[in-house]
Amino acid sequence: MGALEQAKTMSREDVLNKIEALKLQEAGIHAGPLRAHLDAALAENAEEGTELTVAAALNNGDTDQVLLGVLRGGPEKIFEGLAIAAYALGTEKKVLYLPEADAELAKSLENTAAKYQAEVKAEFLNIRENKGNALIHIVTCADLADAFADQYTPGVYVSVNGGEVKKAAPDTKIADLADTEGAKALLLGYRLHQPEDAQLTVAEAGIANGVVRVLTEKDCIVAETEKKLTASRKQSCGKCVFCREGLIQLQYMQKEITEGRGKAEYLDLTKEIGEAMCYSTPCTMGQVSAEVALTATELFGKEYEAHIKKKNCPAGVCSSFVNIYIDPKLCSGCEECVDVCPKDCIEGKAKYIHMIDDFDCTKCGKCIEACPEDAIVQTTGKVPKLPNRLTKVGKFRKH
Ligand code: SF4
Ligand code: SF4
Ligand code: SF4
């Protein structure tokens, strides 16, 4: 007997009691006992006086979307769980929301959805329009289906460094899931952590979006923060001032810092704006998208200081702080680099020392790979004296 059939042999109250007895949890950002979550949805619906719909989705603030892997791994299970939740709440109306970019996935699920009399929509879940509806996480649906098929085990779904999504027992330590040797920082859920937090369990780490990522010396904290804020800006519906404007400001400041125009006051401003966003927005996008910037500035202040005061990116990632030059002592004038440069910004001719025009160079590194003499140097430090006009190989003198 399938999980839904099993649930339907029970009364609605018994289904809710089983959810409580198994200590099932609502997954995602608003994690907590599922029974209480469903009771609260019923109470809110009674206040609104509208027909109740159960809507399953990822959290709006989830830009990584690794938890969609749970759906891709077993779509039928998600619809079963959604239908069980609807049965427990006494409604027939069920909708599965997928990210806007996943229209093809939504289409491929239409037949399965029809089997469960559910709708599938590839659109942003509008919190205001869903007032009075029961919103549950896609992962909660998977747990519900497992629970009524007597296969439920507690745990947290995680994807390590973008790998396959797997359920980890709640007491599993991060260090047992990921190789954290050489870690500079850990991204656990929406927050950055110090490497020592690898000793936290997955339950303690509060991984609401399934993301476990190890950042090493090769990763720039500021650039990573900027990337995540850019992803949030793209996904935000922009209807709330604090979310829309807050994301613009936070992303702008990180971008300025990575491009060498950072100001010391940006750190305080990031805190002020980020905290205001967490408390002043109605959906999870506004509530969590500032977390990465807040934790980055709080825990990795030295990396920000290096960018702002020393004009240096310790990871060598921010290209504004990286210099690429041709060592005049090593260049043989072979012209290989000229052929690969996509910007035509290497000057030279056969048997002459070549020179890079810094203005147009994008620091793509193609010339470095092409140079047979290892004469092209990438550095975040000082650039030595270089020729300022075409000079024959072997004729360059510093003074
Ligand atoms: S918090 Fe952001 S994403 Fe959520 S409704 Fe407001 S503007 Fe849209
Ligand atoms: S780094 Fe790229 S753009 Fe710059 S000189 Fe080399 S090949 Fe050209
Ligand atoms: S590829 Fe290297 S050695 Fe050849 S011209 Fe360019 S910098 Fe000089």
CATH number at residue 373: 3.30.70.20
Mean pLDDT over all residues of the chain?
A: 95
Query: How confident is the model over 361-370, as pLDDT tens digits?
Result: 999 999 999 9
**Degrees to nearest 5, angle at CA 299 with 298 and 303:** 100
Element containing residue 25 per DSSP (H, E): strand 25-26
CA of 390 to the centre of ligand 2 (A): 18
**Whole-number pLDDT of residue 377:** 95
Quick one: 161 and 141 in the same domain? no
Residue 317 belongs to a domain: no
Quick one: 82 and 112 in the same domain? yes
| pLDDT band, very low/low/confident/very high, at 398 (cuts 50, 70, 90) | low
**What's the average model confidence in pLDDT over 105-115?**
96
Q: Does position 397 have pLDDT exceeding 90, yes or no?
A: no
Give, using CA atoms, the residue closest to atom 6 of ligand 2: 367
**What's the average model confidence in pLDDT over 12-40?**
96
Residue 315 belongs to a domain: no
The CATH number linked to 167 is 3.10.20
Range of the domain at 347: 322-392
Element containing residue 18 per DSSP (H, E): helix 12-21
**Whole-number pLDDT of residue 387:** 94
Q: Which ligand is nearest to the CA of 324?
A: 2
Quick one: 175 and 278 in the same domain? no
Residue 345 belongs to a domain: yes
Give, using CA atoms, the residue closest to atom 3 of ligand 1: 236
Quick one: 21 and 124 in the same domain? yes
Quick one: 114 and 207 in the same domain? no
**Whole-number pLDDT of residue 210:** 98
**What's the average model confidence in pLDDT over 130-158?**
97
CA of 398 to the centre of ligand 2 (A): 24
Give, using CA atoms, the residue closest to atom 1 of ligand 3: 371
Is residue 375 within 6 Å of ligand 2 at its C-beta? Answer: no
**Whole-number pLDDT of residue 399:** 54
Strand 93-98 relative to strand 119-122, pairing: parallel
CA of 204 to the centre of ligand 3 (A): 53
Quick one: 135 and 263 in the same domain? no
Show which of 259, 284, 308 is a domain's final residue.
308
Task: Note the helical H segments in 236-354.
Answer: 241-258, 265-280, 284-288, 291-299, 301-308, 336-340
Answer yes or no: are the C-beta atoms of 54 and 134 closer than 8 Å.
yes
Show which of 259, 286, 308 is a domain's final residue.
308
Q: Does position 316 have pLDDT exceeding 90, yes or no?
A: no
How many independent structural domains does the chain possess?
A: 4
Quick one: 202 and 227 in the same domain? no
Query: How confident is the model over 302-314, as pLDDT tens digits?
Result: 999 999 999 999 9
Is residue 238 within 6 Å of ligand 1 at its C-beta? Answer: yes
**Whole-number pLDDT of residue 353:** 97
CA 305 from centroid of its chain's CA atoms: 24
For a pocket test of ligand 1, which of 123, 232, 233, 239 has the largest count of ligand atoms closer than 8 A to its C-beta?
Answer: 239
Other C-beta atoms lying within 10 Å of the C-beta of residue 359: 7
Residue 127 belongs to a domain: yes
Lining residues, ligand 3, CB within 6 Å: 326, 331-337, 348, 354, 370-371, 373, 375-376
Give, using CA atoms, the residue closest to atom 2 of ligand 3: 371
Element containing residue 3 per DSSP (H, E): helix 3-8
The CATH number linked to 16 is 3.40.50
Quick one: 162 and 138 in the same domain? no
Residue 316 belongs to a domain: no
* 215 beta partners: 185
Rounded Cα gap, residues 35 and 24, in angstroms: 8
Quick one: 110 and 179 in the same domain? no
**Whole-number pLDDT of residue 39:** 96
Residue 314 belongs to a domain: no
Is residue 63 within 6 Å of ligand 1 at its C-beta? Answer: no
Rounded Cα gap, residues 336 and 15, in angstroms: 71
Q: Which ligand is nearest to the CA of 63?
A: 1
Per the structure block, which two tokens stand in for 53? 């719909």
Show which of 148, 170, 188 is a domain's final residue.
148
Quick one: 36 and 143 in the same domain? yes
**What's the average model confidence in pLDDT over 117-142?**
95
Query: How confident is the model over 242-294, as pLDDT tens digits?
Result: 999 999 999 999 999 999 999 999 999 999 999 999 988 889 999 999 999 99
More confident residue, 279 or 167: 167
CA 392 from centroid of its chain's CA atoms: 51
Quick one: 362 and 386 in the same domain? yes
Residue 399 belongs to a domain: no
More confident residue, 282 or 71: 71
CA of 371 to the centre of ligand 3 (A): 5
Rounded Cα gap, residues 245 and 253, in angstroms: 12
Burial class (CB in 10 A: 0-12, 13-18, 19+), 306: buried
Quick one: 57 and 15 in the same domain? yes
The CATH number linked to 233 is 1.20.1440.230
Rounded Cα gap, residues 288 and 62, in angstroms: 9
Query: How confident is the model over 179-230, as pLDDT tens digits?
Result: 999 999 999 999 999 999 999 999 999 999 999 999 999 999 999 999 999 9
For a pocket test of ligand 3, which of 330, 336, 347, 369 has the largest count of ligand atoms closer than 8 A to its C-beta?
Answer: 336
- Classify residue 380 by its DSSP letter: S
Is residue 345 within 6 Å of ligand 2 at its C-beta? Answer: yes
Nearest Cα to Cα of residue 284 among 81, 33, 27, 49: 27
Min mean pLDDT across 75-84, 279-288, 390-399 is at 390-399
